[in-house]
Structure 1
Amino acid sequence: MQTELTGKLQKLGFTENEAKIYIGLLRQGEATAREIHEFTHVPRTKIYSTLNRMSKKKYIEVIEGTPAYFRSIDPEQLLERLRDEFLFSLNETLEELNSAGYGMKNKCC
């Protein structure tokens, strides 16, 4: 089931490591980078860069401290954020396509 869920998150734009971390944090609640590595098997060399990227995208929250703890945002919040990002991207693309093809309507036969 986790592999299937990882695949679904990848279809939504997550990398494999992001998907593993998000799912792992949902199950664990809060965890340090070391703990995340241990239960997700994401390579240690990738943990911090992936957590940083996910934090910038606001898919996870960082609880500052020594060590820092991480937790995933609520799945409903995540899906709402992904939907908003997707719709924004669609609208931007539509505007650019319309601008690029502006003169095309008048260039017929």
Structure 2
Amino acid sequence: MEEKIIETLKSIGLSSSEVVIYLDLLANNNSLAREISKRTHIHKANVYETLKKLVLKGFVKEILKEETRYFFAFEPKILLDYLKEKERALQEIIPDLPLASIHREEDGEPEISIHRGIIAARVEIMNLLEMCSEILVYGIPKSAMEIFGTWFLDDFHKKRIKKKVKLRQIFDENIPQRFHKLNKLPYTEVKYSGLKQSTPIFIGICGETVITLILTNPITTIKIKNKDIASNYREYFELVWQRA
């Protein structure tokens, strides 16, 4: 679990030293820089530099008492606020970004892109909503809930329902509580494939786009944009859907 926490914090933009010091402060609030240095085995000068960065990011606060600087870590939910602020900032600049470098499909050839990391995977999943077409998903393993986080999945469904985008998905594993929750949502249908085993891979189809997510470490996302390929995947989904 500790390794997963460290890798997740790195994935949202924290350096190795920022992760170590932030986690240390969560366990030992109201600390001096020299105390942090002693516990983490990071040179005191580097501790000060890292603390400045954490203060600027809003993860740590500094209090001066009798000319002595004490440091406190804000509670972990501040991480979600940090990500939301980053998302808002990105939403503001996206319309102004140049499009010349974007690869486009030509002469019927499929447009293929490969991305790695949880953030890229979340972005591609959210991008499906921009097509405003029915989303088909199959092969979802139970581990997907933990990997992507229920907070992200709930946010995805909230935005999807607001856009009135229909979703049909097939799980490889029987997850009664999740099924019950999803089937109560508008524009949503969920089925269980009945397979006795699952793989760490699931596929999403929307419009002319197919995304394959390989839930290894790091996560790999393969995106294919092609009308014929998407049609073939859609036909297979419908076959599995009828049998589920």
TM-score (norm 2): 0.37
Conserved 8 A contact 1:25-1:72: yes
How far residue 58 of structure 1 moved from its aligned partner, in angstroms, is 1.3
How far residue 37 of structure 1 moved from its aligned partner, in angstroms, is 0.8
> How far apart are the structure 2 equivalents of 1:42 and 1:92?
37
Partner of 2:7: 7
1:52 aligned partner, one-letter code = K
Partner of 2:76: 75
- Structure exhibiting the larger radius of gyration computed from Cα positions: 2
Residues 10-39 of structure 1 show CA distances to partners (whole Å, capped at 9, x for unaligned) of 111000011111100001121000111111
How far residue 96 of structure 1 moved from its aligned partner, in angstroms, is 1.8
Higher relative contact order (CA 8 A, sep 6+): 1
> How far apart are the structure 2 equivalents of 1:82 and 1:41?
29
TM-score (norm 1): 0.78
Instruction: Report the secondary structure of 2:14's partner residue.
Output: coil
Instruction: Report the secondary structure of 2:77's partner residue.
Output: helix
Identity of aligned residues (%): 28
How far residue 94 of structure 1 moved from its aligned partner, in angstroms, is 1.6
The count of aligned residue pairs is 99
Instruction: Report the secondary structure of 1:61's partner residue.
Output: strand
2:53 aligned partner, one-letter code = R
Instruction: Give the root-mean-square deviation of aligned CA atoms.
Output: 1.9
Instruction: Report the secondary structure of 1:75's partner residue.
Output: coil
Partner of 2:47: 47
How far residue 57 of structure 1 moved from its aligned partner, in angstroms, is 1.5
User: Which structure has the highest strand share of the two?
Assistant: 2
User: Which structure has the highest helix share of the two?
Assistant: 1
Partner of 1:27: 27
Partner of 1:56: 56
How far residue 74 of structure 1 moved from its aligned partner, in angstroms, is 1.1
> How far apart are the structure 1 equivalents of 2:56 and 2:92?
21
Long gaps (5+) in structure 2: 101-244
Instruction: Report the secondary structure of 2:17's partner residue.
Output: helix
Long gaps (5+) in structure 1: 103-109
> How far apart are the structure 2 equivalents of 1:22 and 1:59?
8
